[in-house]
Structure 1
């Protein structure tokens, strides 16, 4: 998990903020692309592309075992930063 989260932290600031915002909306919309895309004001395909970018950067965060850990990590990061 640390290695995956570290890959996101290594992104440029603007890109990192977008990726975190995408994670938050996707998780908070109960893993529904359509709902998350509406919240972000993006097309569903654009959100799918961001999620694919996150999969490449963070390496498999979207499994049933890892995704709750990433969700908690996002909340902790939001509190600490």
Structure 2
């Protein structure tokens, strides 16, 4: 699971929170369940953290955290 800039696709669910719009692939929601995205203040390691009801591993965010705001 990770964060990326993207355009909406027909299989995305769209969520708006404050001034942000989140796109989540429907298949990811089925796998992960509810998803929480929060900004974590940690000095030079500040960034977005992602957690879900059913954590998934792999990729650059297997820990559930994207310190740079971008995941590989």
Q: TM class, shorter-chain normalised?
A: under 0.3
Bigger strand fraction: 2
**TM-score (normalised: structure 1):** 0.25
User: Which one has the bigger helix percentage?
Assistant: 1
TM-score normalised by length of structure 2: 0.26
